[in-house]
């Protein structure tokens, strides 16, 4: 099976899939990689081996099944297809029960649970507001006035939906209510791929759709999966933090405001719309990463926290035991805040002035030590900011000064140059 060489990347990328160099002393154990496009974005699946005495399923069989599962979700939940279940439900003016698949029912039921839990911060009926602010299928448009916002809000409200399980169906209390599952359906698609790979007992896998990711086990060489969280800077791709994940199944989803936004009259508008106010969010929260057992939940919660903002979002995550990392923007500085659940998985993170100034103070101390060492110990003149230590590099056969030119060989950089990166929507794949 061919390995992906490159693919078109969506504009809202926030997670980079990072891998280390191949194992030394020979070729790394083999794995299979498949990918393509679905639901308006890209997808990737990497898997290897089989657990226990289970016979390994041929890669060709897996390659047929994974796209079929994704097409199934697309046919049920896409708002870009007129023949999907959701599009037909949106077009219907009836308020009677509308029959849907078990998959759509499960996604809608979970969406309404999270909507109730968040006080309406997550709302799958928000599409009239999304379109009104120029982020919908009709593209950009002038900023609306308050009268237009009020009219759109009257068509929004998760309480206007009702779901039943037997038979699986949904109904709306008002004919003009519509549903958009884009903030949860990709996560569900990832879960379907993972559940299938679990069912054939592969030894380890990583699957992602539009950056929403699910992993199980480890890489083929036994090393953990490494997932890079991007620095939330518009127009740049830089890895801020690398998460190492192995063992039990975990799902990771990120939502941010720095990839999909527009400038209207000098005002930068986020594509994240608060269903409760009818306006784009204007708080300092730049990005959120959520880790959960299933990707459907992680996907929806990342959007929920992004709507709630840095204070209410962190409080909500802590109250409900969510493993979450929140990146807030203060001027040009990005600060980190994490819940205890996230820190338990990946270690403590910094926040506020501590995270910003401790590294700065460390560099100042390092520079002073360099000056002292270069002048006092070696009798060198002041050269640059290192006191002459750089002049000793040739004796170590090192082209860079160890104090300021440390080169990392195991962490990907944002643009994917000279690195081995797992196929991703957020970096070049090899």
Q: Which long-range contacts (CB under 8 A, 24 or more apart) does 264-268 make?
A: 264/134, 264/142, 264/143, 265/143, 267/143
50 neighbors 62 (Cβ within 8 angstroms) = no
Residue-number span of the structural domain to which 379 is assigned: 354-396
| Number of compact structural domains in the chain | 3
Residues 47 and 153 in one domain: no
Residues 337 and 364 in one domain: no
pLDDT at residue 23 in the model: 41
Report the C-alpha gap between 61 and 8 in whole angstroms.
26
238 neighbors 231 (Cβ within 8 angstroms) = yes
Domain boundary, last residue among 328, 353, 378? 353
User: Per DSSP, what are the bridge partners of residue 346?
Assistant: none
Question: Is position 41 within any domain?
Answer: yes
CATH assignment at residue 240: 3.10.520.10
DSSP class of 415: T
Residue 286, SS3 per DSSP:
strand
Q: Which two tokens stand for residue 334?
A: 């990005």
Residues 195 and 283 in one domain: yes
Residues 244 and 315 in one domain: yes
Question: Is position 366 within any domain?
Answer: yes
Residues of the chain with pLDDT under 70: 1-29, 53-54, 234-236, 258-266, 348-430
pLDDT at residue 386 in the model: 41
Residues 293 and 375 in one domain: no
Global confidence as pTM = 0.76
Residues 47 and 144 in one domain: no
Report the C-alpha gap between 20 and 222 in whole angstroms.
11
Phi-psi region of 311 (alpha: psi -120 to 50; beta: other; left: phi over 0): alpha
Mean pLDDT in the chain?
A: 79
pLDDT at residue 265 in the model: 64
223 neighbors 20 (Cβ within 8 angstroms) = yes
How many residues are given for the chain? 430
Question: Is position 103 within any domain?
Answer: yes
Report the C-alpha gap between 324 and 227 in whole angstroms.
15
CATH assignment at residue 86: 1.10.3980.10
DSSP class of 56: P
Report the C-alpha gap between 201 and 197 in whole angstroms.
6
Residues 6+ apart with CB under 8 A from 184: 107, 110, 111, 124, 296, 299, 300, 303
Question: Is position 57 within any domain?
Answer: yes
pLDDT at residue 144 in the model: 87
Residue 301, SS3 per DSSP:
helix
List alpha helices for 259-351, DSSP H. 295-319, 340-346
Residues 343 and 367 in one domain: no
The structure tokens 């002459």 sit at 388
Residues 153 and 103 in one domain: yes
Question: Is position 160 within any domain?
Answer: yes
Phi-psi region of 155 (alpha: psi -120 to 50; beta: other; left: phi over 0): alpha
Question: Is position 410 within any domain?
Answer: no
Report the C-alpha gap between 180 and 194 in whole angstroms.
23
| Other C-beta atoms lying within 10 Å of the C-beta of residue 134 | 18
Residues 109 and 122 in one domain: yes
pLDDT at residue 342 in the model: 97
Residue 93, SS3 per DSSP:
coil
The structure tokens 């796209």 sit at 67
Residues 104 and 69 in one domain: no
From the list 15, 12, 63, 18, the residue with the least C-alpha distance to 41 is: 12
Report the C-alpha gap between 246 and 12 in whole angstroms.
26
Report the C-alpha gap between 188 and 209 in whole angstroms.
10
């Amino acid at each position: 099976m061919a390995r992906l060489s490159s693919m078109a990347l969506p504009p809202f990328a926030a997670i980079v899939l990072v891998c280390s160099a191949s194992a030394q002393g020979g070729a790394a154990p083999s794995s299979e990689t498949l990918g393509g496009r679905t639901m308006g974005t890209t997808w990737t699946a990497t898997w290897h081996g089989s657990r226990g005495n289970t016979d390994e399923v041929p890669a060709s069989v897996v390659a047929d099944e994974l796209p079929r599962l994704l097409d199934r979700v697309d046919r049920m939940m896409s708002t870009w297809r007129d023949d999907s279940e959701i599009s037909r439900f949106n077009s219907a003016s009836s308020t009677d029960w509308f029959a849907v698949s078990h998959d759509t029912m499960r996604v809608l039921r979970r969406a309404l649970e999270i909507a109730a839990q968040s006080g309406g911060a997550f709302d799958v009926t928000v599409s009239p507001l999304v379109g009104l602010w120029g982020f919908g299928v009709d593209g950009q448009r002038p900023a609306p006035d308050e009268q237009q916002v009020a009219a759109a809000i009257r068509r929004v409200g998760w309480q206007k939906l009702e779901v039943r399980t037997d038979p699986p169906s949904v109904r709306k209390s008002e004919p003009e209510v519509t549903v958009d599952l884009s903030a949860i359906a990709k996560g569900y698609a990832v879960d379907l791929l993972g559940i299938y790979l679990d069912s054939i007992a592969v030894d380890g896998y990583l699957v992602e759709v539009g950056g929403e990711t699910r992993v199980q086990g480890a890489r083929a060489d036994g090393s953990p999966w490494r997932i890079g969280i991007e620095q939330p800077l518009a127009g740049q791709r830089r890895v801020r933090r690398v998460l190492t994940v192995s063992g039990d199944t975990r799902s990771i989803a990120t939502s941010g405001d720095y990839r999909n936004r527009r400038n209207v009259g000098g005002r930068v508008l986020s594509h994240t719309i608060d269903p409760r106010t009818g306006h784009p969010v204007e708080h300092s929260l730049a990005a959120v990463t959520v880790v959960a057992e299933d990707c459907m939940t992680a996907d929806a919660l990342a959007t929920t926290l992004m709507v709630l903002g840095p204070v209410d979002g962190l409080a909500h995550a802590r109250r409900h035991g969510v493993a979450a990392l929140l990146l807030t923007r203060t001027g040009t500085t990005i600060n980190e805040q994490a819940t205890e659940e996230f820190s338990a998985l990946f270690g403590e993170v910094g926040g506020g002035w501590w995270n910003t100034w401790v590294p700065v103070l460390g560099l100042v101390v390092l520079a002073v030590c360099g000056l002292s060492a270069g002048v006092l110990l070696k009798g060198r003149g002041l050269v640059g900011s290192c006191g002459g230590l750089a002049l000793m590099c040739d004796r170590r056969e090192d082209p860079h000064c160890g104090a300021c030119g440390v080169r990392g060989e195991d962490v990907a950089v944002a643009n994917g140059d000279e690195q081995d990166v797992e196929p991703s929507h957020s970096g070049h794949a090899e």
